[in-house]
């Protein structure tokens, strides 16, 4: 099953969003998250790419509360680490991602996470996710199916049609589009 054309299609839709549209959508997403998560426990968030909802202020709040865990790609596995200081605890990868520095951050067991926020290129109405193609989130969530998940995307990323689903693809329980 070739998902490459769909990835190109949704990347183009995101690229057509203005900085202002992205900023407004990101602000609405953060406001919703702040309202939804009144007493934060350990939350698995993500360090957003420029094509994703900007969670930096939300992540900063969680870090101050000592409730932030961010993923790090280790070989073929996604591992979460508790992050206390966004400025000091992250390192930039060659792909341009900001990941926890394992020398500064403690690894957390997946079952410690009360919620995992999941980025994507697209979701459909059933929660089927179209990711970037590495399979990291799918492998992590399939190994930990009891973890609550919440997908976060821009409205233009919501697929009007069912996305192709392979046996290893993990369905996200709830998706919010802004």
**pLDDT for residue 142:** 96
Question: What pTM was estimated for this model as a whole?
Answer: 0.95
Q: How confident is the model at residue 136 (pLDDT cuts 50, 70, 90)?
A: very high
For the chain, the structural domain boundaries read 4-159
- For domain 4-159, which architecture applies? 3-Layer(aba) Sandwich (3.40)
End-to-end CA separation in angstroms for the chain: 29
Instruction: Please spell the DSSP secondary structure of 18-43, one letter per residue.
Output: -HHHHHHHHHHHHHHHHHH-SS---E
Query: What pLDDT is attached to residue 3?
Result: 96
Query: What would the mean pLDDT of 60-69 be, rounded to a whole number?
Result: 96
Q: Name 170's Cβ contacts closer than 8 Å, sequence gap at least 6.
A: 129, 137, 138, 141, 142, 145, 149
At residue 95 the predicted structure's pLDDT band, cuts being 50, 70 and 90, is: confident
Phi, psi torsion values for 35, nearest 5 degrees: -75, -35
Q: Does residue 106 have a pLDDT over 90?
A: yes
Report CA-CA distances (Å) from 77 to 3, 28, 121: 21, 31, 20
């Amino acid at each position: 099953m070739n998902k490459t054309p769909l990835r190109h299609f949704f990347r183009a839709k995101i690229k057509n969003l203005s900085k202002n549209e992205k900023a407004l959508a990101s602000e609405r997403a953060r406001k919703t998250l702040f309202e939804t998560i009144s007493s934060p426990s350990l939350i698995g968030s993500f360090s957003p790419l420029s094509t994703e909802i900007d969670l930096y202020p939300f992540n900063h709040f969680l870090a101050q509360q000592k409730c932030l865990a961010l993923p790090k790609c280790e070989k073929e596995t996604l591992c979460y680490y508790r992050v206390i200081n966004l400025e000091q605890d992250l390192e930039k990868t060659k792909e341009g991602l900001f990941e926890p520095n394992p020398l500064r951050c403690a690894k957390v067991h997946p079952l410690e996470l009360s919620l995992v926020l999941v980025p994507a290129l697209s979701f459909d109405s059933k929660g089927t996710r179209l990711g970037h193609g590495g399979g990291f989130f799918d492998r992590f969530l399939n190994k930990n199916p009891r973890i609550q998940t919440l997908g976060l995307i821009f409205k233009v990323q919501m697929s009007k049609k069912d996305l192709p689903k392979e046996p290893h693809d993990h369905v996200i329980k709830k998706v919010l589009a802004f």
